[in-house]
């Protein structure tokens, strides 16, 4: 089930399945403008078509050159062959990477929110690699989920290869766990186990140990809408539906004792899950706090915090945080709300283009703004004492800016590690990287 | 073999269109794409947003298949479309909306639309200036020249993880899912879109023995009074023959249900209609010799939110009828 592996040496990029067509190739052209079965045409017609095509190419080339010349004349800084701006800073030593996930003080990034590259896994289906699939006409997708346990271990849902890749907290390849799901999309983990959810094809949720043993196999109950999140808690996995409803799942007949933390519980085969509605999405694996977030362009952002009772049967509101989180910038949408071990709150928002973050060294324009609120900052913002002071938030909360991953679909733009660090899955032609960001106030002021 | 003139003309026109599109992109003429003014394209049928969503629902579960554009409706399996084929069917472009492979129809269409055409507005659709303007039935598309993806917007978070219908890729099935779509995905809207309530026209009707599976329900414009572009008609038969409309109900509650047909003396005087709800099936009979060209009330019924062919649909039967049966359209109006 679980294969322990040495860290591979000399990794190289291998593309599984259908290789993306080389630019300009016949296949690439087919991908751009796929034709129905061609008619049989005579040689003279083919000649005329080639001539027309050549003429078209010539005119296009001419137009392209004119446009480039125009850009060179009128666009400041425009130059052919200019390198793409670097968005990450590579670690200088393995010790630096270890410190990022293990919780030691981070190595400061070179500039802004550049982050530190923990690991890069080349594309492929072998050991030391993760899968990428580019169907040409469809979703170019890499690993669709990433989860980090409180102890720093990392799980990557290598959905193309239908497996979970396990890295240690230093980013070293540990092994893989096969996943018997047709379309796994969501992943959550704590120190004890890993949850994998296929909410589309099989509609099953698997619970596995980090060593690959199966602890539970639940059928997903009927849901009112689509799944938008999966969380690991001591009481069992929680599924978020349509960014609103959150349900604690457990196998039939054992509502509270999900058993994943009880070594005496045996494997359950496809038991139908029972669900219990929660007040919001969990902010920690202990299920002490949950949050409910809403956003609309008119009303702005609102996050309600609830504290769960000891038996997790009731939740009482402890704070309500208003729209001041964006520091006066225009927010296009809420991206995520997460907690950290210190009781803080981490809120990610997408900014409208004109309010996007400061230029990175290369001039790129990050559009995601992530704000961290310390527990003390909103401990007094109870429902009765109105919303948290906008002024306090706008001057105290550290922020960082991220750009969207664009090369391939990786499920989410970032994941918050339990210690509050931001782990960004970053797909590039070279492979799948995990870049770790920290909140450094001096980098954002 | 000499090509028909119309074929050559079409190819030249397409080449010119592609040239213009490419030039526009090169020259940074994004403003031209974002004006929101539809460009001139071939006439396509009118369609409601509810029809697009209803059509999208029928494909869920079909296996993504590169280059295909069809599926067997409501099967929950079998070979399905790729992403652009799926969108084409749900949008009924360029001009037909058959579920099955359409060799006989598409033979006259040398190039099929792909994400490239969706992205560059080379078809009967146009760009929206902002993703915040998206409404259900619009699409989000990306294309970098060598690969692309297009999804149908169903609602939810426009900039983060909207709910979409998509045929994702090899090994995956068509799904309704919340998917994080970055800023590469641009919004597009179909032309000839009717901003109505929940109206499903005859092309949305899934049928046995119907035109969508090559049977004997046929489209017609012989008798005036139809909704949309035409109506669907079937002679009385002893064989199994029904047409069924299944919308996606946005919320649980009561809805007034209306049926529409074109009347004539050769029509059935007591065509059987089933109203399928979560609480049971209700039989109704309609006289299609009268009341044509209007929305005829079938009554008030309670439906659950979501999509369910057996629990939230209207069926009309030609089986055992005493005349021609017309399946033109149905309308659902929320009520108390």
Q: Name the least confident of A194-203, A382-391, A416-425.
A: A382-391
Q: Which domains does chain B have, with CATH numbers?
A: 5-194 (3.90.1720.10), 198-335 (2.60.120.260)
Q: Across the interface, do B157 and A333 touch by the CB < 8 Å criterion?
A: yes
Can you say whether residue A77 is alpha, beta or left, with left for phi > 0 and alpha for psi between -120 and 50 degrees? left
Among B residues 237-256, those touching chain A with beta carbons less than 8 Å apart? none
pLDDT value of position A176: 97
B265 and chain A: CB distance < 8 Å anywhere?
Answer: no
Average the pLDDT over A410-435 and give the result: 93
Taking CB atoms and an 8 Å cutoff, what residues of chain B touch A242?
A: 156, 163, 178
Q: A12 lies in a domain?
A: no
pLDDT value of position A106: 33
Top-confidence residue, A128 or B195: A128
Q: Across the interface, do A35 and B3 touch by the CB < 8 Å criterion?
A: no
Distance CA B195, CA B137 (A): 11
B178 and chain A: CB distance < 8 Å anywhere?
Answer: yes
Q: Which residue has the tokens 């800016």?
A: A401
Give the model confidence (pLDDT) of A392-420 as tens digits.
454 567 888 888 888 899 998 999 998 88
Give the model confidence (pLDDT) of B253-282 as tens digits.
999 999 999 999 999 999 999 999 999 999
Question: Got the DSSP string for A302-366?
Answer: EEEEEEE-TTSS-EEEEEEE-GGGGTTPPEEEEEEEEE-TTS-EEEEEEEPGGG--PPPTT----
Q: A264 lies in a domain?
A: no
Chain A interface mutation, best of B160, B162, B163, B167, highest count of A Cβ atoms under 10 Å: B160
Q: A89 lies in a domain?
A: no
Give the model confidence (pLDDT) of B219-237 as tens digits.
899 999 999 888 999 999 9
Q: Which residue of A has its CA nearest to B181?
A: A409
Kindly indicate the confidence band of residue A331, based on its pLDDT and cuts at 50, 70 and 90: confident
- Stretch (H or E) spanning A373: strand A368-373
Q: Across the interface, do A200 and B172 touch by the CB < 8 Å criterion?
A: yes
Taking CB atoms and an 8 Å cutoff, what residues of chain A touch B18?
A: 33
Distance of CA A40 to the CA centre of its chain: 48
Q: Are A133 and B169 in contact (CB under 8 A)?
A: yes
ipTM here: 0.77
Kindly indicate the confidence band of residue A124, based on its pLDDT and cuts at 50, 70 and 90: very high
Residues 6+ apart with CB under 8 A from A175: A2, A3, A4, A5, A165, A166, A212
Chain B interface mutation, best of A19, A20, A24, A34, highest count of B Cβ atoms under 10 Å: A34
Q: Which of A185, A225, A224 is nearest to A205 (CA)?
A: A185
Kindly indicate the confidence band of residue A52, based on its pLDDT and cuts at 50, 70 and 90: low
Helix, strand, or coil here: B41? coil
Among B residues 183-212, those touching chain A with beta carbons less than 8 Å apart? 183-184
Full domain range(s) for residue A370: 284-404
- Selection from A331-345, B194-208, B297-311 with the highest mean pLDDT: B297-311
Give the model confidence (pLDDT) of A264-322 as tens digits.
444 444 566 778 888 888 998 888 888 888 887 677 778 888 888 887 778 888 877 76
- A437 pLDDT higher than 70: yes
Query: CB-CB: which of A138, A200, A228 is closest to B173?
Result: A200
Query: CB-CB: which of B15, B27, B82 is closest to A67?
Result: B27
Size of interface A-B (CB pairs under 8 A): 167
Q: Which residue has the tokens 């598409």?
A: B106
| B83-91 vs B49-58: helix crossing angle, rounded to 10 | 140
Q: A343 lies in a domain?
A: yes
pLDDT value of position A250: 81
pLDDT value of position A23: 41
Top-confidence residue, A172 or A111: A172
Distance CA A102, CA A151 (A): 7
Q: A145 lies in a domain?
A: no
Kindly indicate the confidence band of residue A223, based on its pLDDT and cuts at 50, 70 and 90: confident
Q: A269 lies in a domain?
A: no
Distance CA A156, CA A221 (A): 25
Q: A153 lies in a domain?
A: no
Q: Across the interface, do B146 and A20 touch by the CB < 8 Å criterion?
A: yes
What's the whole-number average pLDDT of chain B? 82
Taking CB atoms and an 8 Å cutoff, what residues of chain A touch B85?
A: 137
Taking CB atoms and an 8 Å cutoff, what residues of chain B touch A36?
A: 106-107, 109-112
Distance CA A164, CA A210 (A): 10
Q: Which residue of B has its CA nearest to A227?
A: B178
Question: Got the DSSP string for A232-247?
Answer: EETTEEEEEETTTEEE
Q: Are A86 and B45 in contact (CB under 8 A)?
A: no
- A129 pLDDT higher than 80: yes
**How many angstroms separate the Cα of A258 from the Cα of each of A221, A231, A251, A263, A267?**
15, 14, 7, 11, 11
pTM above 0.80, yes or no: no
Chain B interface mutation, best of A226, A230, A415, highest count of B Cβ atoms under 10 Å: A226
| B5-26 vs A43-74: helix crossing angle, rounded to 10 | 20
Q: A393 lies in a domain?
A: yes
Give the model confidence (pLDDT) of B87-119 as tens digits.
988 998 865 544 444 433 443 444 578 899 999
Q: Which residue of A has its CA nearest to B160?
A: A335
- A38 pLDDT higher than 60: no
Q: How many domains does chain A have?
A: 1
């Amino acid at each position: 089930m679980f294969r322990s592996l040495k860290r591979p040496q000399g990794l190289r990029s291998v593309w599984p399945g259908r290789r993306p067509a080389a630019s300009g190739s016949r296949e690439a052209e087919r991908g751009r403008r796929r034709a129905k079965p061609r008619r049989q045409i005579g040689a003279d017609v083919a000649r005329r078509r080639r001539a027309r095509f050549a003429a078209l190419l010539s005119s296009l080339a001419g137009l392209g050159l004119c446009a480039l010349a125009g850009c060179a004349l009128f666009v400041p800084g425009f130059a052919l062959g200019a390198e793409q701006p670097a968005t990450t800073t590579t670690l200088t030593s393995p010790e630096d990477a270890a410190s990022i996930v293990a919780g030691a003080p981070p190595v400061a990034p070179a500039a802004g929110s550049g982050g530190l590259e923990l690991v890069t896994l080349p594309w492929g289906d072998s050991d030391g690699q993760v899968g990428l699939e580019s169907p040409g006409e469809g979703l170019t997708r890499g690993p669709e989920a990433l989860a980090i346990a409180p102890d720093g271990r990392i799980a990557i849902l290598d959905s193309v290869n239908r497996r979970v890749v396990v890295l240690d907290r230093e980013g070293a390849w540990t092994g893989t766990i096969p996943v018997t799901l047709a379309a796994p999309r969501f992943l959550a983990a704590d120190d004890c186990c890993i949850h994998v959810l296929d909410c589309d094809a099989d509609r099953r949720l698997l619970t596995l140990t980090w060593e690959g043993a199966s602890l539970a196999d639940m059928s997903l109950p009927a849901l009112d809408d689509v799944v938008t999140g999966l969380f690991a808690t001591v009481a069992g996995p929680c599924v978020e539906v349509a960014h609103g409803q959150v349900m604690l799942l457990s196998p039939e007949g054992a509502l509270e004792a999900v058993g994943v933390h009880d070594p005496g519980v045996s494997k359950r085969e496809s038991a139908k899950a029972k669900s219990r509605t929660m007040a919001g999405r969990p902010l920690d694996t202990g299920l002490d706090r949950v949050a409910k977030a809403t956003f609309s362009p008119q009303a702005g952002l609102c996050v309600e915090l609830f504290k769960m009772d000891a038996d997790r049967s009731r939740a009482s509101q402890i704070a309500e945080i208003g729209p001041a989180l964006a520091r006066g910038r225009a927010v296009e949408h809420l991206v995520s709300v997460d907690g950290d071990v210190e009781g803080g709150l981490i809120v990610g928002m997408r900014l409208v283009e004109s309010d996007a973050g400061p230029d990175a060294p290369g001039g790129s324009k990050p559009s995601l703004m992530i704000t961290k609120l310390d527990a003390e900052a909103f401990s007094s913002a109870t429902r009765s004492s109105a919303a948290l002071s906008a002024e306090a938030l706008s001057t105290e909360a550290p922020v960082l800016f991220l750009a969207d991953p664009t090369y391939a679909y990786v499920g989410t733009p970032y994941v918050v590690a339990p210690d509050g660090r931001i782990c960004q899955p970053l797909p590039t032609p070279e492979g799948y990287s995990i870049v770790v960001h920290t909140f450094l106030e001096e980098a954002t002021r | 073999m000499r090509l028909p003139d119309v074929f050559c003309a079409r190819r030249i026109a397409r080449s010119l269109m592609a040239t213009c599109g490419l030039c526009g992109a090169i020259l940074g003429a994004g403003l031209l794409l974002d004006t929101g003014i539809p460009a001139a394209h071939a006439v396509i049928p009118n369609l409601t947003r509810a029809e697009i969503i209803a059509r999208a629902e029928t494909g869920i579960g079909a296996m993504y298949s590169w280059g295909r554009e069809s599926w067997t409706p409501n099967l929950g399996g079998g070979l399905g479309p790729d992403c652009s084929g799926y969108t084409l069917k749900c949008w009924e472009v360029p001009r037909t909306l058959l579920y099955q492979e359409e060799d006989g129809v598409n033979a006259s269409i040398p190039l099929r639309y792909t994400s490239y055409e969706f992205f560059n507005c080379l078809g009967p659709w146009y760009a929206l200036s902002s993703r915040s303007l998206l409404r259900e039935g619009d699409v989000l598309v990306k294309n970098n020249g060598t690969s692309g993806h297009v999804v149908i917007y169903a609602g939810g978070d426009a900039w983060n993880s909207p709910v979409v219908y998509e045929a994702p890729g090899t090994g995956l099935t068509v799904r309704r899912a919340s998917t994080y779509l970055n800023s590469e995905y641009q919004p597009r809207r179909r032309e000839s879109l009717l901003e109505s309530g929940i109206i499903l026209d005859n092309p949305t009707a899934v049928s046995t023995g119907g035109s969508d599976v090559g049977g004997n329900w046929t489209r017609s414009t012989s008798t005036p009074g139809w909704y949309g572009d035409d109506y669907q008609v079937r002679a009385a038969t002893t064989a199994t023959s029904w047409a069924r409309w299944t919308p996606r109900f946005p919320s649980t509650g009561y809805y007034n249900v209306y049926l529409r047909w074109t009347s004539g003396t050769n029509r059935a005087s007591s065509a059987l209609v089933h109203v399928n709800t979560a609480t049971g099936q209700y039989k109704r009979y309609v006289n299609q010799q009268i009341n044509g060209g209007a929305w005829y009330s079938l009554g008030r019924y309670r439906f659950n939110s979501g999509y369910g062919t057996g629990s939230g649909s209207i069926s009309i039967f030609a089986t055992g009828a005493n005349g021609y049966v017309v399946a033109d359209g149905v309308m659902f109006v929320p009520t108390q």
